[in-house]
A and B are shown apart, each in its own frame.
Chain A
Amino acid sequence: MIYLDNAATTKMFEGGADIYKKYACQSFFNPSAGYNKSFEIAKELDGVRELIKKNLGATKGNVIFTSGATESNNLAIMGSKRNGKWEYVFSLGEHPSVYNVASALENQGYTVHFVGLLENGQIDYEELERVVNNRTRLISVMHVSNETGAINDLVKIDKIRREYCPQALLHIDGVQAFCKLPFNIEDFNADLYTISAHKFHGPKGVGALYVKNPSGLKNIIYGGGQEGGYRSGTENVPGIMAMKYAIENIDIIKNFQYVKELKDYFIKSIDNTEGVKYLKTESPYILSLSFYGVNGETLMRSLQDRNIYVGVGSACSTKKAGNRVLESMGMNIDEIKSHIRVSFSEELSLDDIKNACHEILDTYHKLLEKVK
């Protein structure tokens, strides 16, 4: 199997699964129980909070464990909203777990701005500059686009914020960036940062929200008051500890370099093939491609018969193909229909990429022959 859909999810580290089992079957205590064994677990969780902060480059703030990115994004946005004439700013390229929260805010009567994308997949900075003002409460932008691999210039966004709306909070959905790109959160002063464990070989159902100033956040669910009251519910200790294992066992810079070689090799192999077009973006982990004349989903299914797995993003599968993100970058309907997403991991070899490219092109040409 050649698995090229690592932006959808990654394979969990075997060592992480061992850790998971240890904390599920041996050190299984509820961190809030009060006896020493549970207190030890609580301290271990605090250790993971510090580890995440260290990886983000944060010197202050707190980390709240959640069930994953969707919950982190909901907490960041809904937990930041305030009554009054505040406004909320998002990009059109956001993941549904941000975009649909934004739409919900809009339906609740809040003023919400959606900023368009540039052709390269990044947020339109000039438009952002135009929509923010002294009523802006929150700017929520993704670090790396899950669809295209475009990396937003967060330093630039922060600069816009400081100039036009210093009161606004900055939330970054870092799902495709954390443990993948080298960065320091203090370079762009994010107030909130979302991470998800299963995107970097951790378990599913675990994530976190970094919060620079917790007093500005309101909880959105109610219960036993865990996580400082910001996220009630017994912590997923096995999941969190397995996430810790993943963080500790990833060499971000080494992986970045290696995966970049894979992506470059991939591009070199398919470049100059008639009908094939790709998006030049900065994240080495994600490559967005169009194979003119064939339907992306048909290509995806034909490839699975060859044991190769690629993503089709969130392309709508009905007669009317639609993809909000690609559309807002100005892609035409034919490009969108024939779009697939290839996403890499350091667990792939150069040979895998070589074989995959060969199979993908062969499948493409055979399909094209049938449908043209």
Chain B
Amino acid sequence: MNVILLRFGELYLKGHNRNYFESTLIKNIKSMLEGEEYKLESTFGRYVISNYSQDKQNKIVEKLKKVFGLYSLSPAIEVNAEVDTIKNEVAKIECKGKTFKVFVKRADKSFPISSMDFAKDLGELILNNNKNSSVDLYKPQCEIHVDIRMNHKAYIFDNIIKCQGGLPLGCSGKGLLLLSGGIDSPVAGYLMAKRGLELEALHFHSYPYTSEQAKDKVIKLANLLTDYVGDIKLHIISFTRVQEEIHKRCKPEFMITIMRRIMMRVAECICEKYNLGAIVTGESLGQVASQTMQSMTVTGNVIKEKPIFRPCIAMDKEEIIEISRSINTYDTSILPYEDCCTVFLPKNPIIKPTIKQAENEEQYIDVDALVEECLEKEEIINIMRE
């Protein structure tokens, strides 16, 4: 029978919480495979997916590769753990002239032959059937695994596909991702989701200074993210008035500093309102003026009770781009629409602001009223995983 073996990584480490992590993982696997027909069984530290139609196997594998908490998977043949049955199945293997090695693992110690001896037997069998192949114990081109489990089943497979790793989505709580439309913020969302954080997203737009297309692009990005993070509630806040006010009343070089402080305040209010436990941003140290240590001190300073997670903080742009490509958000991120951070962009933004300076600038605007106004005009779009 064709099956898919699933392995999970860090869950082993979680001691008393293991049940919670596992049940979350199973829930996520089921949610990812919604609409597919299959059977999911848990056997001694592995999950086995079976009873699916063979032509759906690739599709199911692709979907499972996006489930956080899974470490690796292998499409395999499941047979009864009997010596002859296993040999019959292994006899069918074609190595096409490649070097190979057989790995036998015996969790079921009642199996009559030792792992080493059985591997040798099977190796011989394969050699006899594949005259132009040879054994290479050090760098084999083909790895043939025979896994004999406690459920008296054996699993034969030749491919271990790496999955996302991380922790099951949701087991770390729920956070708010500041989603700008650029390359970094979707990557930040993905990385935090990988650590088990469910996400809602927050976007600021500045019509007419930014376009409907720019907003649509953010909706598209959120849509792409749902592949990994499931349904996303996207909060859209009109930021036009805030920017006009800052532009009018504060020093130009503080435009972005003050703007981001207000964004953070709005974000924390939304966290309060929707019971979200953290703020996630795509900031990377030193990438732009607003992402220096001093700037982040000043923008983070307005947050009273939530942690700010910045998973891209230590990454080079190239590294961020690489992840962005791998999660398929890059091509959308680089569409050329302005985001609200490019509006009223001063020629020389301050690189090392201080909290005192920022507070001083904020005297000239009614921060509380502006935050209030932002929240009043909140638009919510529920983006479902397709």
Contacts and interface: CB of A to CB of B under 8 A. Distances in A.
Interface of A: 295, 297-298, 301-302, 305, 316-319, 370-371
Interface stretch (B25-33, B204-212, B290-298): B204-212
Interface in B201-244: 207-209, 211, 244
Contact of B336 (A305, A317, A371): A317
B307 to A, nearest CB: 31
Contacts of B207: 301
Contacts of A302: 208
Contacts of B337: 317
Given A370-B244, A370-B247, A295 B345 contact: no
A371 B344 contact: yes
B249 to A, nearest CB: 12
A233 B344 CA distance: 50
Contacts of B345: 319
A302 B244 CA distance: 15
Contacts of A301: 207-208, 211
B152 interface: no
A130 B297 CA distance: 60
A166 B344 CA distance: 54
Contacts of B244: 370-371
B173 to A, nearest CB: 36
Contacts of B338: 297, 317-319
Contacts of A295: 209
7 contacts: A297-B338, A302-B208, A316-B336, A317-B211, A318-B342, A370-B244, A370-B248
Interface in B246-266: 247-248
B336 A298 contact: no
Given A370-B244, A370-B248, A371-B247, A318 B211 contact: no
B342 A305 contact: no
A316 B247 CA distance: 24
Contacts of A305: 208
Contacts, number: 27
Given A297-B211, A316-B336, 13 more contacts: A295-B209, A297-B338, A298-B209, A301-B208, A301-B211, A317-B211, A318-B338, A318-B342, A319-B338, A319-B345, A370-B244, A370-B248, A371-B244
Given A297-B211, A301-B211, A302-B208, A319 B247 contact: no
Contacts of B344: 371
A39 B208 CA distance: 54
Nearest to B337: A317
A370 B337 CA distance: 21
Nearest to B244: A370
A317 B344 CA distance: 14
Nearest to B240: A370
B372 to A, nearest CB: 20
A316 B248 CA distance: 27
CB-CB nearest 10 A-B residue pairs:
A301-B208, A318-B336, A302-B208, A370-B244, A298-B208, A298-B209, A319-B342, A317-B336, A317-B338, A317-B337
Nearest to A317: B336
Contacts of A371: 244, 247, 344
Nearest to A363: B208
A75 B244 CA distance: 49
Interface in B326-349: 336-338, 342, 344-345
A286 B342 CA distance: 30
A293 to B, nearest CB: 12
Nearest to A295: B209
A211 B345 CA distance: 50
Nearest to B344: A371
B334 to A, nearest CB: 10
B29 to A, nearest CB: 41
A324 to B, nearest CB: 15
A204 B338 CA distance: 29
A318 B247 CA distance: 20
Contacts of B208: 298, 301-302, 305
B208, B248, B344, B345 — most chain A CB neighbours (10 Å): B208
A317 B214 CA distance: 11
Nearest to B241: A370
A305 B247 CA distance: 23
A308 to B, nearest CB: 13
A297, A302, A305 — most chain B CB neighbours (10 Å): A297
A318 B345 CA distance: 12
A371 B211 CA distance: 17
B209, B211, B338, B344 — most chain A CB neighbours (10 Å): B209
A317 B334 CA distance: 12
B337, B338, B345 — most chain A CB neighbours (10 Å): B338
Contacts of A298: 208-209
A305 B240 CA distance: 15
A312 to B, nearest CB: 10
B214 to A, nearest CB: 9
B122 to A, nearest CB: 56
Contacts of B209: 295, 298
B244 to A, nearest CB: 5
Contacts of B248: 370
A146 to B, nearest CB: 20
B353 to A, nearest CB: 22
A295 B243 CA distance: 15
Interface string B165-199: 00000000000000000000000000000000000
A319 B182 CA distance: 13
Nearest to A320: B336
A298 B208 CA distance: 5
Contacts of B247: 370-371
A297 B211 CA distance: 8
Nearest to A302: B208
A370 B243 CA distance: 10
Nearest to A316: B336
Contacts of A370: 244, 247-248
Interface in B87-118: none
Interface in B275-312: none
Nearest to B248: A370
Contacts of A316: 336
A33 to B, nearest CB: 41
A339 B337 CA distance: 17
A305 B337 CA distance: 19
Contacts of A318: 336, 338, 342
A346 to B, nearest CB: 30
A317 B207 CA distance: 14
Nearest to A301: B208
Nearest to B212: A301
Contacts of A297: 211, 338
A53 to B, nearest CB: 41
